[in-house]
Chains A and B, each alone.
Chain A
C-alpha cells in the first residue's frame, strides 16, 4: 500500500512539471566564429566568443527582449522585473519556481533546482581572488559589502560570510543592495558574467571550470575542440519558454512572431560552431550553405552589395546573391571609433588655448568623409556624439565632431603663432620644433589610416611621425600614457550611455580614459547622470558633456561601422540583437 502510494505520487509529480523536449534533434544550426573562444566559465571570461556560448548555457536574472529596438530589458528567470526601493538602492527579485540545472554527476543524480542562493554564490564568485575574474569591477564597488569580502586574506575567502548587499530572503527571493543609485545597474545583471552557476559544480571541477559549464539555459555543451569546433545540444531540463517579444509588429518582426508562434524554444536541437578566422573562407562557406548565418566581410562590401551613396543604411544584395534567397540585416555596430590625443603630453596635451587650437586644427584637417568612403568603403556613418546612435541618451540633432576645414585650421594655427619654418613645416609658438607621433598597428587597414592622417597633417603643415607596433604594445603604452595619438574603438558592454561617457571620466585615466582627459565639470556631470533615470534632464546633461569634449578636443571623432548580417534562405527566426551575442535559440532551419 505504502509502496503503491509512493508510485502514484511519483507519477503525479512528473505530471506537475512536464519536461518538454521540444527541440527537434534532427535540426542542426551551423554557425561560425571569427576568433577562437577561451572557455565556458562566465565569471572567468570576458571575450565575446566565450560569452556567446555561455549565453546559451547559463541564465541571467534579466535579459533582453529579442525583437524590441531600442533594446529593452525583460525578466528571464524571475517572475517580473525587480521591485526597487524608494531610495533607489535595493532591488528585490522573485525567482520562478521549477527551473532546473542540466544533469551533471556533480549533482549525484538529484534534480537540482535554481535558487536565490545560486545568484548570491555566483555574484560573490566574481570577487573571489582565487577565481581572479576580469569582471569583478562590475559589482565589487557597487554591491554593499562585496568589496570588503574581496579583501579577505588569501585562502580565507568564505562564501558563507553574509554580506548586507546580497541576501537570499528565502529559497526564491533575492535582494541586492547597491551603494549609490545607478541607472545602469540592471544592465549589469543582464550581462552573462553575472549568470547563475551551481556551487557543487564549481567545487567538483574546481581545477577546470572552463570545460564544465552546467547551467539552466537552453543548451548544454556536448563537444569542445578548443579553437576549432564547439557543439551544443538542447538541454532536456530546459523550462518551457516561448517567444514573448512582439517587436515593431511589422516586417521581419511580424514574420518572426508568426514563424515562432506556439513553438517551444530552443527550436534547433543541435548547434555546431566552427571557428573560421579568415574572411574569405568564412564567406565562401556561407555561400555554399555550410554556414547558416554570417556577416559580409568589410572588403567584400562593394562586390556583394549595392549601396545607396546617400544612405549607407539602405543596401541591397547584388542579383547573384539575391537570387539565392540570401537575406541581409544592416546594423550599426554598438560602438564608436575615435583617435585620442594624450592630454598629459607636453606637446599635444594641455588645456591652454594654444594647445586646444592645435588639437582642434588637427581634427579639422582630417577628411573623415573621404576615409569613410575609401577605407570603410561606405559601410560606416560619421560619429557625432560620444553616445552611439540608437542608444538611449543619443541626441540625433547634436553634432559634437569638428567639421572638416583645413583652410580654417591653417588660419587658426597662424593665429596662435605656430609659424611655418624654413622647411615648410610649423614650429611650436615658443619656436621649438613641432612633431606629433601617431601609433598604429602593422595592418594594411592601418596603413590606409596612416596615409589619410599623413595627408591631413601635410595639409596643415605639421610634422607627423608614425610609430608601428603590435596592437597589445600600443594598448599597454596607451594605458601608461606614453602615446601621443592613437586610434581606438569602444564597443558597448551594456546599452547604457554611461558605458561610453566614462571613456572621458577623469578618475578612469589610465584604465579606459586613454586620453587622460580631466575636466571637473565633466566629472561632476558624469556622476550626476548616473543617479538619474532616462529623462530630458539627463539628456541635457549628456549634451553638455558632449560639448565639453568638443571644446577641449581630446578626441577626433571618427565613425561607427555598419555590419551587414546575412542569413541563408532556409533560416527562419533570425534577427541580430545589438547586445545579445547570439540568436540561436530562436532560429529554425527548414532545408
Chain B
C-alpha cells in the first residue's frame, strides 16, 4: 500500500501539482486588462489603508479656502461666491438707534458681562483662506481632494465590509440549506423568499429609516439586503457537492457535518465566492452612493461619494462642477477596475478553462 502511494507520487514530484489558485494566478497574469485592474484596485486599497490610519485626508473637514474656491487650473472659468454677510438694515426701514436686549432686561445679563472678560482665551485666530485649490473647494471651503479621498475610503470600506458580511451570511445560510435540505432548506428558502419579494431599494430604505445613520449601520443594512444572491449560489453548489465521492469519503472517515461543509466542500467553491464578492463590492458601493444621495447614508461627520453627489445637483445649477468631476473620476475608475477584475477572475478561476 505504502509502495503504491510512493510510486504514484513520484511523477507528481517532477511536475509539481498545481492548485486551482496557482493556475488562476498564472492565467490572470496573462490577462493584461485584468492585471492592470488588479493594480488599480490595490492602489485604492492602499489609499483606504492610509486614510483609515489617518495618514491621509484626516483633515478633510478643515475649512481651508473660500466657499466654492475654483480649481487652480480653471481659475478664470468660475468665480467663487463673494457675497458678503448681510444685515437686515440694508433693506431700509431702520431709522433710529438700534434696540437690543439690555443686560438689565436679560435674566443672565450679569453673567454675560462677566463672561465677556474671559472670552479672550477662546478667540480664534483669523486664518487666511485660499482663493483656489488644486481640485477646488466645496460650499464650506473644504478641499475637494481631501474630501474625495476621505469619501473614497468610506465608500470602499462600506463596500468591502458590506460585501464580506453579505458573503458570510449568504454562505452560511446557503451551506445549511443546500447541505441539509428538507425542513432546513424549506425554512431558509421561505426566509429567502420573504427578502426577495420586497424590492431591493424599498428594503434598503426601510432598514435605513429604522437603523438611523452611520458607518456601521450602513454596512449592516447593505449586507442584510444583499445576501440573497450568494445564498442561492452556495445552496445550489452544496446540493451538487454533498453527494460527491469525496464528501462520502469524508463521511466514511467520520468527519462531522460541519467539517464536511466548511473544510471539505467550502474550499471547492471558494473561487465562486471570490467572484461573488467582487460583484457585490461594486453593487454595494453603488447602493451606498444611492442611500447617501437620498440622505440616509453616512452621518454629518463622515463623507462618502454618495454624500458628495448629494451636494452636486445644487452646485451644478450654480456652475460649480469640480466636486462632481473629482467623484466621477474616482468612482468610474474603481467601479470599472473592479468589474474588469471580476471578469478576469471568473475566467482565470473557471476550472473548465484550460
Q: Which residues of A contact B (CB under 8 A)?
A: 279-280, 297, 299-303, 307, 309-313, 332, 353, 356-357, 360, 369-370, 372-375, 377-378, 380-384, 389-390, 395-400, 405-408, 410-412, 414-416, 441-448, 450-452, 454-455, 466-469, 543, 547, 550-552
Closest to B90 in A: A311
Interface centre among B86, B116, B318, B319 (most CB of A within 10 A): B86
Q: Between A and B, how many residue pairs show CB distances below 8 Å?
A: 180
Closest Cβ–Cβ distance, residue B161 to chain A (whole Å): 22
Closest to A367 in B: B85
Contact B115 A382 (CB under 8 A): no
Within 8 Å CB of B299, what residues of A?
466
* C-alpha spacing A469/B210, complex, angstroms: 10
Closest Cβ–Cβ distance, residue A313 to chain B (whole Å): 5
By the criterion of a CB under 8 Å from any partner CB, how many residues of chain B are at the interface?
58
B328 proximal to A (CB < 8 A): no
Interface centre among A397, A442, A455 (most CB of B within 10 A): A442
Closest to A543 in B: B99
Q: Which residues of B52-109 are within 8 A (CB) of A?
A: 67, 81-101, 105-108
Contact B118 A414 (CB under 8 A): yes
* C-alpha spacing A443/B293, complex, angstroms: 9
Give the residue of A313, A441, A547 whose beta carbon is less than 8 angstroms from that of B91: A313
Closest to B83 in A: A378
**Extra inter-chain contacts (19) besides given A302-B81, A415-B111, A448-B311, CB under 8 Å:** A299-B313, A301-B318, A307-B83, A309-B83, A309-B86, A310-B86, A311-B90, A384-B88, A400-B100, A407-B120, A412-B115, A415-B114, A448-B139, A451-B300, A454-B300, A466-B213, A468-B213, A550-B101, A550-B106
Closest Cβ–Cβ distance, residue B215 to chain A (whole Å): 14
* C-alpha spacing A383/B94, complex, angstroms: 14
6 residue pairs bridging A and B, Cβ less than 8 Å apart: A312-B91, A370-B85, A374-B139, A396-B88, A411-B121, A551-B107
Give the residue of B83, B115, B212, B317 whose beta carbon is less than 8 angstroms from that of A303: B317
Contact B318 A300 (CB under 8 A): yes
Closest Cβ–Cβ distance, residue A563 to chain B (whole Å): 14
Contact B213 A415 (CB under 8 A): no
* C-alpha spacing A109/B349, complex, angstroms: 85
Interface centre among B91, B93, B140, B213 (most CB of A within 10 A): B91
Contact A411 B83 (CB under 8 A): no
Within 8 Å CB of B92, what residues of A?
313
Contact B95 A396 (CB under 8 A): yes
* C-alpha spacing A447/B139, complex, angstroms: 12
* C-alpha spacing A380/B88, complex, angstroms: 9
B310 proximal to A (CB < 8 A): yes
B307 proximal to A (CB < 8 A): yes
Contact B93 A416 (CB under 8 A): no
Sorted from nearest, which 8 A-B pairs have the closest CB atoms?
Answer: A442-B295, A369-B85, A396-B93, A378-B83, A407-B122, A411-B115, A299-B317, A410-B122
* C-alpha spacing A378/B90, complex, angstroms: 13
Closest to B112 in A: A412
* C-alpha spacing A158/B345, complex, angstroms: 80
Contact B91 A382 (CB under 8 A): no
B124 proximal to A (CB < 8 A): yes
* C-alpha spacing A399/B98, complex, angstroms: 7
* C-alpha spacing A410/B98, complex, angstroms: 26
Known A311-B91, A407-B123: A374·B81 in contact at CB below 8 Å: yes
Known A313-B90, A375-B139, A405-B119: A297·B85 in contact at CB below 8 Å: no
Contact A408 B97 (CB under 8 A): no
* C-alpha spacing A27/B253, complex, angstroms: 94
Contact B140 A412 (CB under 8 A): no
Contact A407 B84 (CB under 8 A): no
**Digit string of B206-235 for contact with A (CB within 8 Å is 1, else 0)?**
000100110000000000000000000000
Give the residue of A303, A468, A547 whose beta carbon is less than 8 angstroms from that of B295: A468
Closest to A400 in B: B101
Contact B108 A373 (CB under 8 A): no
Closest to B311 in A: A444
Contact B318 A377 (CB under 8 A): yes
Closest Cβ–Cβ distance, residue A135 to chain B (whole Å): 32
* C-alpha spacing A369/B81, complex, angstroms: 14
Contact A451 B111 (CB under 8 A): no
Closest to A560 in B: B88
Q: Which residues of B263-322 are within 8 A (CB) of A?
A: 294-296, 299-301, 307, 310-311, 313-314, 317-319
Give the residue of B95, B119, B294, B296 whose beta carbon is less than 8 angstroms from that of A410: B119
* C-alpha spacing A469/B296, complex, angstroms: 9
Contact B101 A303 (CB under 8 A): no
Contact B83 A373 (CB under 8 A): yes
Contact B140 A300 (CB under 8 A): no
* C-alpha spacing A375/B92, complex, angstroms: 23
Contact A381 B101 (CB under 8 A): no
